Structure 1
Amino acid sequence: IVLQISKMNLPVITVAALILLCGDASGFFNTRTTREPVEFIPKSRSNVQTLWVTQRLDHFNAQDDRTWEMRYMSNEEHFKSGGPIVIYIGGEWTISAGALLGGQQFDIAAKHNGYLFYTEHRYYGKSYPTPDTTTQNLKYLSVDQALADLAYFVEYVKTEVAGLKDSKVIVVGGSYAGSMAAWFRLKYPHVCDIALSSSAPLLAVADFYKYHEVVGKALKSESGERCYQIVQEGMKQMQQVMATSTGPQEVAKLFNLCKPIDPKNALDYASLASGIADMFAGIVQYHNRGDIEATCEYLQSSADAPNGNELSALGDLFKSRSSSNCDDAQYSATVAAYKNTFWNSSSATSAMRQWFYQTCTEYGYYQTDSSSNQPFGSGLNTLELYINLCKDLYEDVFTNNAENILNDGIERTNVVYGALSSAVDRVIYTHGTIDPWHAIGLLEEINTESPVIVVKGTSHCKDLQSISANDSEEMKAAKERVLELVNKWLQE
């Protein structure tokens, strides 16, 4: 999802992103995690219905009878009685009708006379389980609760929609929702028959340094060594300049920052470094043909211009991708922006307060510069930044215990859901080699009933789009293989 910058003076920071649009005051708070992971070309003009279903707030406490309304959408255009239930799973974003009018999930429903649904994840979009997003209320935000929501949703539609009582269930998801699809089949095999898991990060990990390694490799593979070198040298030059007495002012001017950062403030410095790296991460993760090449051509032209160098090229690119009057790289600005707990605040509408909470309690996924095999500097964007955000955004029990909560949550996620060793069957795992998230996805088959399909040269969740004339032969073959497997399993 290609990075866009909000038209406000925003904090510059990134956070463990999967999937990017900055909301008001969200800056670079890694919006790759807060929008739908792929756009679909409509193949239908059918009317999509928006509906609501009552869910329990806490599925695992029988003494708590509080409920809330979960939003979902449906398309019955191709449905015939007995056809499958096809659910496109919503992740950390606001659902929209487009996912029910095109894509692999639409094609599966069309071919097999299925009833197509799109479920919205609790705490995202318009699905508000609690009055606000205080830390106390966010404790009901977890993948365990979200998967239980899905299970009860299936039971609900089988009961309430005529012709679905004995229908098989197919779930489709991309990115975090891709993990949910695989985990739903694992945890509720009596409810779910088939899962398509695209670009799913199944391994929870605190320091996800491999993310930036893949970004660096993509810059090389798609545009050549020179692009990688410009980024690498530009980051080195920034560290050298920042060490001088006038350096902070010079860097602030180059990147159009609202105010210079203090190089002695590790969290401010990390915020800036993270924002620069995330600019490239967004381009790579949501790469369409020519995107990386165009970016690298811009960098080279800027670096080779009279009075230009690698650092000024990074600044030029950064400014060209911002529509703000200036960008705020101060850590305190990010904390202030995302501590607001009201549903109508930018911290909630951007979904970043909710998603970062999940990273603090279940996944990590923090994209640092701790590897030497990436071009985004060294010792700047460290795990310390993200642990401090967990402390400062959620306070309460996190203030003195954030690192333990993070590590315990990651361990639990991997133990409960199997990480990269789950032997669940009838799950199709797909990945693209340019997508940085494939580095913590399942890349080798554990059993023949859960095939892994890796498509060379493609990015995040692209395989979820319908087959098109623009597909490479490898991509077309991958999509056809998915449809063949679904057809085979439905007939068995």
Structure 2
Amino acid sequence: MKYTLIVLALLAPLTAAASLGNLELQPEPNAFVQSLRELRRAPPLETSRKRANVETRWFTLKLDNFNAANNATWKDRVLINEDHFTDGSPIFIYLGGEWEIEPSAITSGLWVDIAKEHNGSLIYTEHRFFGKSFPITPLSTKNLKYQSVQQALADVVHIIKTLKLEDKYKDSKVIVSGCSYSATMATWIRKLYPDIILGSWASSAPLEAKVDFKDYMEVVGQAFEQLGGKYCYDLIDNATSYYQDLFEGGQGAKAKKELNLCANFNVNSKQDRWQIFSTIANVFAGLAQYQKPGNYDLPKYCSVLRSFSDDDAEALSKFVQWRLGYPTCLSVTYKGTVNYYKWAKINYEDDSGLPWIYQTCSEFGWYQSSDSENQPFGSSFPATLYTDTCHDVFSKNYTLINIEANIAATNKDFQGIDIAVKNVYWTQGGLDPWSKVGAGIAQGAIIIPQASHCSDLDSISANDSPELQASKLKLAQLVRDWLAQ
């Protein structure tokens, strides 16, 4: 997900690697991989101006929490802020998702404010196979079988049990929070371990696993139309249609030149074409996913988009180049993506996102396709782009039928959006693309108008909309109620 579920960061330089006696050549940076990386980054948080003493601890966990015969262990990184803690006060856990954890998440923001009110300890857990918490390497398909949400939830429970062996924590109640995929975890951990987790705050939690997540780009389009303006939506729509028509009309070379695609892009390869159109959509999705209405983010980006040229197609091409850091050319070949992920199996120190890609294949899907007509990104990147990647990177066993079976098993285990669970507070942004697979009004979720993904993590502010402020106040009261139980 994550948090599946954007300013675009440039790919860090990839490190050269040696494996199995043969020098592995570093793949060239790939714009498609880059765009996916931005979509799964940790949610942006307000900058803390307060000093905080954040301790790093390493917890010994089982490699396989469900196999008593497997005694292998590993070290998981956890950040702890006890600045306001008094013995026996609650433990407030922020669950890490598909990203590397860092201190600011437990030094400022709404969750920190609530913890401070109750003299609580703030704990930030790092999900296995992300950040610096690798249970086993390399990231072969065989080893990645230990990457699952069930294993990750059991990890958190083990950390809690270990903490509660300490006198200062033995009487502490435990409440968790999460954003995006980690909000999914916050929901499911409350369902699976209600005797350990008193309550959960789940901000923008995807709950229904789905292979073809075509609804995602619909909401991205809605965000640009409602907040950026109809002209902005139409610009994107017109430009995408123009390039799509060039490829379909036998003028792929012209499209390749105008989009500044690298020489290795094959205009006759449907998979390469899927990659470029998906990359373009992802660039805009990244902006919509973490926009803040109060900052006028999308209107500003739409103005920049228009400023590049009066010609829609040229404006879009230059905007994408700008967002991707002005590369010499855009590398978006399907083979390049597959080779990069295969390289990342050995070179796991790079922030490849490979473990998350594996989870989408084995548990969640959530492949953001162009299969809906109600979005401005054309019709040239089906979910097959991603299911093919599963097959070609991990194993021939990842056929569409088997991936669909994996997704069905996840929904059977956790009941999708109709999950039966108490003491969970769901919040959703009204323009969050991920809300289409999350809890809605019928399930008791609070919908914050015009907001996007994980929009309510910051402290209460005078800049908050009335609905956003009301939601934050409601959470604070719910926590008081839960702790009084």
TM-score, with structure 1 as normaliser: 0.91
Partner of 1:485: 478
What is the RMSD computed on CA atoms of the aligned residues? 1.7
Is residue 176–residue 201 contact of structure 1 (8 Å, CA) maintained in 2? Answer: yes
Shift of 1:85: 0.7
Of 417, 420, 424, which aligns to 1:420? 417
Residues 197 and 7 from structure 1, CA distance in 2 versus in 1: closer, same or farther, beyond 3 angstroms?
closer
Partner of 1:23: none
What secondary structure does 2:78 align onto?
A: strand
What secondary structure does 1:44 align onto?
A: coil
Of 154, 163, 169, which aligns to 2:160? 154
Matched ranges for 1:386-425 at <5 A: 386-395=386-395, 399-425=396-422
- Aligned mates of 1:251, 1:303 — CA distance in 2: 17
Which residue identity lines up with residue 404 of structure 2 in the other structure? N
Residues 125 and 105 from structure 1, CA distance in 2 versus in 1: closer, same or farther, beyond 3 angstroms?
same
Partner of 1:283: 287
- Residue 332 of structure 2 corresponds to residue 329 of structure 1: yes
Is residue 243–residue 263 contact of structure 1 (8 Å, CA) maintained in 2? Answer: no
Partner of 2:266: 262
Q: Which moved more, 1:180-189 or 1:218-227?
A: 218-227
What secondary structure does 1:39 align onto?
A: coil
Q: Which moved more, 1:48-57 or 1:323-332?
A: 323-332
Q: Which moved more, 1:57-66 or 1:221-230?
A: 221-230
Q: Which moved more, 1:401-410 or 1:212-221?
A: 401-410
Of 432, 435, 438, which aligns to 1:438? 435
Deviations 1:232-281 (A, max 9, x none): 11111102222455x33332332222226333311100000000000110
Shift of 1:464: 1.3
Of 120, 125, 128, which aligns to 1:122? 128
- Residue 452 of structure 2 corresponds to residue 475 of structure 1: no
Matched ranges for 1:4-403 at <5 A: 4-6=9-11, 10-13=29-32, 26-33=33-40, 35-42=41-48, 44-160=50-166, 162-244=167-249, 247-259=251-263, 261-288=265-292, 289-304=295-310, 309-323=311-325, 324-341=327-344, 344-345=347-348, 349-378=350-379, 380-395=380-395, 399-403=396-400
Shift of 1:465: 1.3
- Aligned mates of 2:82, 2:451 — CA distance in 1: 31
Is residue 227–residue 299 contact of structure 2 (8 Å, CA) maintained in 1? Answer: yes
Residues 445 and 77 from structure 1, CA distance in 2 versus in 1: closer, same or farther, beyond 3 angstroms?
farther
Q: Which moved more, 1:468-477 or 1:249-258?
A: 249-258
- Aligned mates of 2:454, 2:419 — CA distance in 1: 21
- Aligned mates of 1:212, 1:342 — CA distance in 2: 30
Is residue 185–residue 193 contact of structure 1 (8 Å, CA) maintained in 2? Answer: yes
What secondary structure does 2:98 align onto?
A: coil
Deviations 1:217-242 (A, max 9, x none): 11110022111111111111102222
Shift of 1:104: 1.9
Is residue 345–residue 354 contact of structure 2 (8 Å, CA) maintained in 1? Answer: no
Partner of 2:3: none
Deviations 1:61-105 (A, max 9, x none): 111111000100101101111110110000111000111101122
What secondary structure does 2:256 align onto?
A: helix
- Aligned mates of 2:248, 2:188 — CA distance in 1: 48
- Aligned mates of 1:131, 1:400 — CA distance in 2: 21
Shift of 1:178: 0.3
Shift of 1:489: 1.6
Deviations 1:353-380 (A, max 9, x none): 11000000000000000001111001x1
What is the aligned length? 463
Is residue 431–residue 438 contact of structure 1 (8 Å, CA) maintained in 2? Answer: yes
Q: Which moved more, 1:65-74 or 1:348-357?
A: 348-357
- Aligned mates of 1:401, 1:491 — CA distance in 2: 48
- Aligned mates of 2:483, 2:214 — CA distance in 1: 40
Which residue identity lines up with residue 339 of structure 2 in the other structure? A
Q: Unaligned stretches of 5+ in structure 2?
A: 1-5, 14-27
- Aligned mates of 1:344, 1:435 — CA distance in 2: 33
Which residue identity lines up with residue 433 of structure 1 in the other structure? G
Residues 487 and 400 from structure 1, CA distance in 2 versus in 1: closer, same or farther, beyond 3 angstroms?
closer
What secondary structure does 1:375 align onto?
A: coil
- Aligned mates of 1:489, 1:85 — CA distance in 2: 13
Is residue 27–residue 327 contact of structure 1 (8 Å, CA) maintained in 2? Answer: no
Is residue 258–residue 317 contact of structure 2 (8 Å, CA) maintained in 1? Answer: yes
- Aligned mates of 2:425, 2:95 — CA distance in 1: 15
Residues 336 and 344 from structure 1, CA distance in 2 versus in 1: closer, same or farther, beyond 3 angstroms?
closer
Is residue 249–residue 260 contact of structure 1 (8 Å, CA) maintained in 2? Answer: no
- Aligned mates of 1:264, 1:58 — CA distance in 2: 45
What secondary structure does 1:420 align onto?
A: helix
Of 427, 447, 451, which aligns to 1:454? 447
Shift of 1:194: 0.8
Is residue 417–residue 439 contact of structure 2 (8 Å, CA) maintained in 1? Answer: yes
- Aligned mates of 1:471, 1:409 — CA distance in 2: 40
Residues 351 and 425 from structure 1, CA distance in 2 versus in 1: closer, same or farther, beyond 3 angstroms?
farther
- Aligned mates of 2:11, 2:72 — CA distance in 1: 37
Which residue identity lines up with residue 261 of structure 2 in the other structure? L
Partner of 2:24: none
Q: Which moved more, 1:261-270 or 1:368-377?
A: 261-270
Which residue identity lines up with residue 175 of structure 1 in the other structure? S
Is residue 6–residue 322 contact of structure 1 (8 Å, CA) maintained in 2? Answer: no
